[in-house]
């Protein structure tokens, strides 16, 4: 199999604080990981692509200083939402591929962030 987990599954934080979301590939090494954001009743929007050991590539319009991505190992990527505000409340989903050009992305179960 190819299982991707995320932690936490849901989190509530106060406005102005930072929150970290972890994405792990449990039974394979992920050369590339992706972070998506999904607002209610909307589609997934790609935020950034990260490769192990290198800086993440952010999609146009995504603030790299606000959404810090670290891909320090082949099984772990983290997304830190800094100085969170209510408009950052969303469903954050990560995915991973086994090789850079792999056909399939394996998705995590998602993390629901609520900023109060």
Partner 1 sequence: DAKTTQPPSMDCAEGRAANLPCNHSTISGNEYVYWYRQIHSQGPQYIIHGLKNNETNEMASLIITEDRKSSTLILPHATLRDTAVYYCIVRVHSGTYKYIFGTGTRLKVLA
Q: In what order do the strands lie in the sheet with 67-73?
A: 4-7, 19-25, 76-81, 67-73
Among 8, 16, 53, 109, binds partner 1 (CB under 8 A): 109
How many Å apart are CA 82 and CA 105, to the nearest integer? 27
Comparing C-alpha atoms, which of 100, 92, 95, 99 is closest to residue 24? 95
Among 13, 45, 68, 76, binds partner 1 (CB under 8 A): 45
- Decide: is 61 part of the binding site for partner 1 (CB under 8 A): no
Q: With contacts defined by CB under 8 A, how many residues of the chain interact with partner 1?
A: 28
- Decide: is 105 part of the binding site for partner 1 (CB under 8 A): yes
Among 8, 16, 27, 104, binds partner 1 (CB under 8 A): 104
- Decide: is 89 part of the binding site for partner 1 (CB under 8 A): no
- Decide: is 107 part of the binding site for partner 1 (CB under 8 A): yes
How many Å apart are CA 75 and CA 52, to the nearest integer? 9
Six-digit token string for 32: 């590339």
């Amino acid at each position: 199999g190819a299982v991707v987990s995320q932690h936490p599954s849901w989190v509530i934080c106060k406005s102005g604080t930072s929150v970290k979301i972890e994405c792990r590939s449990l039974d394979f090494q992920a050369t590339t990981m992706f972070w998506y954001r999904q607002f209610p009743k909307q589609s997934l929007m790609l935020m950034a692509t990260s490769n192990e050991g290198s800086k993440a590539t952010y999609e146009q319009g995504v603030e790299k200083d606000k959404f810090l991505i670290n891909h320090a190992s082949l099984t772990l990527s983290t997304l830190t939402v800094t100085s969170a505000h209510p408009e950052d409340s969303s469903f954050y989903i990560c995915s991973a591929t086994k090789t850079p050009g792999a056909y399939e992305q394996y998705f995590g179960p998602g993390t629901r962030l609520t900023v109060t």
